[in-house]
Every structure is written in structure tokens, then in C-alpha cells.
Chain A
């Protein structure tokens, strides 16, 4: 299975500060991958590296096996990008914005773009500066989709939108994915949205990859354990502890395990994605799941 994005030891430095460091990950084609992490974790940097807006300071990144810096034309033809806050030329009318897309891209599906915007009730003759935030986001998405990309990358696409616009945006996005089968990588603060739409997850914190895995494998590979507090550490046979919280008599652990915990003292629960992500974000030292094999092992679509 080809990877949509594959990076090895990827790093990017601004002056002395590393925005992204030693990032090795693989996002298989056909996935909808969520990129989560606190502000400044390097999400935008990773996306910009993937589309060739930035040059790596270390390591390499490939999109469908092509370097986005050396062969920017080939990569740009395959990748749609929606930058943060959906920038558009404010003085351009909507139809002029489509004209821009038509003229600047080698592939362009004008009918789809127009019918999509018509269905959303966005008037062609309106200036982009006069559109609502949700409408601007839709136009930006439409622009990225009309070039029929194999990979669509979106930087915080819904964070600035109200709940209704957010839902409508995700509806459009998911419908387009259902129609075209393109791979998606989107960064988001909103874990609920990630849980809803993504089947692959990359957690970044402090510029490094903490988790890169299919969501199902991730969730099924973790357990919430509740049991009596023990002295002498939190070690659990056959598992690695991600997070431990202790009451006076009872301990709650979030562990990563490949099988079942056999120790009967632990009461075992499934854990939701949101709790899991928060546990990783809170415990940046907690081991990583970098093996690309694991990440790619999910069932193909």
C-alpha cells in the first residue's frame, strides 16, 4: 500500500528553535488522518513541509513518493491545501476565485465546483471579503477540491467556525471524500471532530510525534485499569503505562497493551479516544508509537 505522506527524521528549525524534530511517520493512502497537538506543537510546520511551502532543516518528507521541494509542480498537482483561516483574495468575486483555480491548476473540475457552491447557496457574484466565515471556508474547500487532489490537507479548517458552519464544512468534506476517495490530513483542536471524521491519528507535542496510528488500533491497544493502589511503582505486566493517577487507596492507569491484562486485581475498561489523546498530551514523556508498520497495519478501505 503506498503512503500518501512518509517522513523520515524530518525536522524544521527557525533560528535555533526546532518547530518540528525527528518526525518519522507514515500516513497510508485512503486514510482520513487527524493531526492534533497543542498550539506550537508543529502542526502547521508539518503541513507546510508536506506541501513544500517549507524546506526541511533535517530529514526528508515525501508525498506519494515525491519530494515536495524538489518536484513542487508534481506534488502541487496532486495535493489540495486549505490554509489556516481559509485565506482568499478579498477583492475577488467568488467566480473570479474559481477562475483563479481554473487558470492556476492543471486539473480543474469547474462543474463540480460551481454546483457545489450553488448547492450551498453561495452567490457567484459576491466578493469573497463580503462572505461569512463559514462561506469563505466552503469556497476555500471548494477551490482545493476542484483540482481533484489525491491528498487534501487542511490546517485547522473548522477552528474559526461556529458550530453550524463547522458541521456543514465537515459534511462537505466527508461527502467529497466519499465521492473521490482522496486521502485527508487535517489538523484540529477539536477532538470531537477528529473522533467523528478521522480514522488515523497523529499526535504532535513539542515538535515531535507522540502517536501515529490508526484510531481503531490505537483505541483497542489501550485500557483503562482501576485497582487498589500498590506500593513499588506502577508497572503492570504485559503493558506500558501512559498515565497513572492515584487516590489514597485506588489507582487509575491508562496503559498500552497488545493483549489482555491477566492480573485479576485490575478492573479493565475500554477508553475513549478523547481521554486517550488527553492522556498523551498531558504526559509528553509517555512512550511513542512510531512504528510505521503498526500505523499501516489497519484494514485497507
Chain B
């Protein structure tokens, strides 16, 4: 039995292969997947989700290019690395900062939806700045 089971959100509009890579990323970050664990085989994913086999292969190839997994012919695809991210301490500090910011935003009259929009726009603007630069 594979360590994780994929699921699919048909309504999200996010391409299927990216949903798969995101789930692996998340599982790695949460510690559900560890180094040495085996991902479900493409056939198992296809059978479970009724999706295109190419999509699974595409997602696994992306993960492999990111250096997170490695496919061993005849055996399967295995986790070889955990994505670099902030240390636990850093992450807690960032989260405390975000909590402070959210409280400020609420005091300034922004509801949750407003916060979402602001975050989206900021992320996008930063992304296009980086692209131009």
C-alpha cells in the first residue's frame, strides 16, 4: 500500500498534474511523506482517479526535476528529498507576523474576502515585478 492516496478537485480549475504535485509537496511539508517512501504507481493513480496516465507521469516528472523524487525502473517512484523551506523556528516567526498583520487588517475594516483579494493582487504584482526584473 502506497504511503499516500491522491484525490482530485474537479471544480478547482487547477490542472490535474499540478494538483498531484501540490499534494506531494504538502505531504512532504507536513511530514506525511518521508525520504524513502514510495509514491503510488502511475497505474494505481490512474485506476483510482480515472485520469490520463500521461498526467500522472507528467506530475512525477516535474517532481523528479525538482529533485524531490526519483523513479527507479521496475520498482517505482521514491521520495529522495524534502523540499527546502523555512526552518520550524522561522516558520513560527512568520506565522506570528502574519497573525499580527491579519489583526491589523481586520481593525482597518478588511473582511476575509478583502484579505484574500489583497493577498492575490500582491502576489501577482510581485510576480510580474520579478518577471520584468
**A and B: direct contact (Cβ < 8 Å)?**
yes
Interface residues of A (CB under 8 A from B): 30, 32, 167, 170-171, 173-175, 177-179, 192, 195-199, 216, 219, 260, 268, 270, 272, 274, 299, 301
Q: How far is the CA of A259 from the CA of B107 in the complex (A)?
A: 41
Evaluate whether A177 and B51 lie within 8 angstroms (CB atoms) in the complex, with A195-B10, A216-B15, A219-B15 already known: no
Query: CB-nearest residue of chain A relative to B11?
Result: A192
What are 22 inter-chain pairs, A to B, with CB distance below 8 A?
A30-B54, A170-B50, A173-B50, A174-B46, A174-B52, A175-B43, A175-B46, A177-B53, A178-B42, A178-B46, A178-B47, A179-B43, A195-B10, A196-B10, A196-B50, A196-B51, A197-B52, A199-B54, A216-B15, A219-B15, A260-B131, A268-B124
A139 to chain B, nearest CB (A): 18
Q: What are the residues of chain A within 8 A of B16 when measuring CB–CB?
A: 195-196
Which of these, A175, A199, A272, contacts B55 with CB under 8 Å? A199
Q: What are the residues of chain B within 8 A of A32 when measuring CB–CB?
A: 52, 54
Q: What are the residues of chain B within 8 A of A197 when measuring CB–CB?
A: 50-52
Chain B window 102-122, contacts with chain A (Cβ cutoff 8 Å), 1 for yes, 0 for no: 000000000000000000000
Interface residues of B (CB under 8 A from A): 8, 10, 13, 15-16, 42-43, 46-55, 57-58, 124, 131
A226 to chain B, nearest CB (A): 12
Q: How far is the CA of A74 from the CA of B88 in the complex (A)?
A: 63
Evaluate whether A174 and B57 lie within 8 angstroms (CB atoms) in the complex, with A196-B16, A216-B15 already known: no
Q: How far is the CA of A94 from the CA of B47 in the complex (A)?
A: 24
Q: How far is the CA of A195 from the CA of B17 in the complex (A)?
A: 11
Query: CB-nearest residue of chain B relative to A196?
Result: B51
Q: How far is the CA of A274 from the CA of B14 in the complex (A)?
A: 11
Interface contact B54-A167, CB-CB below 8 Å: no
Interface contact tally, CB-CB below 8 A: 55
Which of these, B10, B52, B57, B58, contacts A198 with CB under 8 Å? B52
Interface contact B52-A177, CB-CB below 8 Å: yes
Q: What are the residues of chain A within 8 A of B8 when measuring CB–CB?
A: 196
Q: What are the residues of chain B within 8 A of A171 when measuring CB–CB?
A: 46-48, 50
What 4 A-B pairs are tightest by C-beta distance, nearest first? A272-B13, A170-B50, A178-B53, A171-B50
A134 to chain B, nearest CB (A): 14
Q: What are the residues of chain B within 8 A of A199 when measuring CB–CB?
A: 52, 54-55
Q: How far is the CA of A299 from the CA of B42 in the complex (A)?
A: 18
Which of these, B13, B15, B53, B131, contacts A174 with CB under 8 Å? B53
Q: How far is the CA of A196 from the CA of B9 in the complex (A)?
A: 10
B93 to chain A, nearest CB (A): 32
Which of these, B10, B47, B124, B131, contacts A175 with CB under 8 Å? B47
Q: What are the residues of chain A within 8 A of B54 when measuring CB–CB?
A: 30, 32, 199, 301
Q: What are the residues of chain A within 8 A of B43 when measuring CB–CB?
A: 175, 178-179
Interface contact A167-B52, CB-CB below 8 Å: no
Q: How far is the CA of A274 from the CA of B12 in the complex (A)?
A: 11
Q: What are the residues of chain A within 8 A of B47 when measuring CB–CB?
A: 171, 174-175, 178
Interface contact B10-A174, CB-CB below 8 Å: no
Q: How far is the CA of A48 from the CA of B124 in the complex (A)?
A: 47
Query: CB-nearest residue of chain A relative to B56?
Result: A178
Q: How far is the CA of A63 from the CA of B32 in the complex (A)?
A: 47
Q: How far is the CA of A177 from the CA of B47 in the complex (A)?
A: 10
A213 to chain B, nearest CB (A): 15
Query: CB-nearest residue of chain A relative to B17?
Result: A216
A199 to chain B, nearest CB (A): 5
Task: Name the residue among A179, A197, A216, A268 with the largest chain B CB count within 10 angstroms.
Answer: A197
Q: How far is the CA of A268 from the CA of B51 in the complex (A)?
A: 29
Interface contact A192-B10, CB-CB below 8 Å: yes
Interface contact A167-B42, CB-CB below 8 Å: no
Q: What are the residues of chain B within 8 A of A179 when measuring CB–CB?
A: 43
Q: How far is the CA of A197 from the CA of B8 in the complex (A)?
A: 12
Q: What are the residues of chain A within 8 A of B58 when measuring CB–CB?
A: 299
Q: What are the residues of chain B within 8 A of A195 when measuring CB–CB?
A: 10, 16
Interface contact A174-B42, CB-CB below 8 Å: no
